[in-house]
Structure 1
Amino acid sequence: MKTIKTTIAILAIAILAISCSKDDEPTPVVVIPEQNPLAGYLTASGFDQKLTNRVDSGDYEFGYSFTPLVNGTMTAIVAKIPDTHIGMRVTIWDKIAGTVLRTETIDVATAGVEVTKVITALSLIKDKEYFITFNSNDWYDHRKTDGTAVTYPFTVGDIKVTGYSFASGTAQAIPNSPQTTYYAGDVSFKFQK
């Protein structure tokens, strides 16, 4: 009797082991990290060599244009400026059409501290050119130490940065004065493919 019980127990364990296969295991979820192209852009351009704080230095709409190299979504905006600015306007544009795709505000409550605001995902299409701009009278002025111009584009991960430009004033107007000797910021975004 003891042998029969032992045999049945061994058979039950064997059947259970055979019936549990890898197909029953959940497929691991692959999380693709978000990308923020700003640091890579500053490094690739050399604009990370010299930094000057500009506070209360006139109102401008400024930012950089970019093209995603893959389809993806903008999931957040990121800002860091050398002064506080509650309700700072950030605009995402269709660069070619010159139209606003999204307007967000972000609260920079502490000078010099990076702030991230998660936004409703904005689909970005591969090879389409966009602009991200902000309107402020405070910014970081990034330049090369020798003051020379750069040649665009700069590819950073899945984003190609195609230029930097500004427009004077507080109006929500697409920047129309391209510059190649500096970048004024810092406002960027997080991208997930």
Structure 2
Amino acid sequence: MSAVIGYARTSTIEQVAGLEAQRRDLERAGCTKVFSEQLSSVDAKRPELARAIEWAREGDVFVVTKPDRLARSTKDLLAILDTLQAKGVQVRILSMDLDTTTPTGRLMVTVLGAVAAFERDLMLERQREGIAKAKAEGKYKGRKPSAALKADDAVRLVKGEGLTVSAAAKALGIGRASVYRALEGK
């Protein structure tokens, strides 16, 4: 008996409503098993996606709400589609009403994936331009250098209290390299 498998993802933990909306849409589409996670697609590992793909069997249907929830790039999308299709699993993308088992469906996903990547590149370019403009106007300061603000505490913990660099870094919530930089500066 074939299953209808759903996969939902949001980039951050703050996007709870978006994840719930995806789950709802997947259940409405008939998904009996839904895998979901909250992490950026840029992350090297997406454990729930890997579990969903592994769980899928020949004859199953793999459903996502939008292509950007499934893949980080056109190349990544096509690799995931190849993996699923090699297993005999159909893929549906709800937002496009696409079925990738047909040549037309695969062409459309490739074209739309390329457009999505292009759109993302444009968005990042606009973001960089906006930051450059804000810096030129003195309105953008960037994030506060939290590790630099804790340099004195790092030195005190290592030299004064005898903690290891690793222990001091953990206690302060900064990286070991930041502790070493603080020690070199003092």
TM-score (norm 1): 0.27
Q: Which has the higher strand share?
A: 1
Larger Rg: 1
TM-score (norm 2): 0.28
Q: Which has the higher helix share?
A: 2
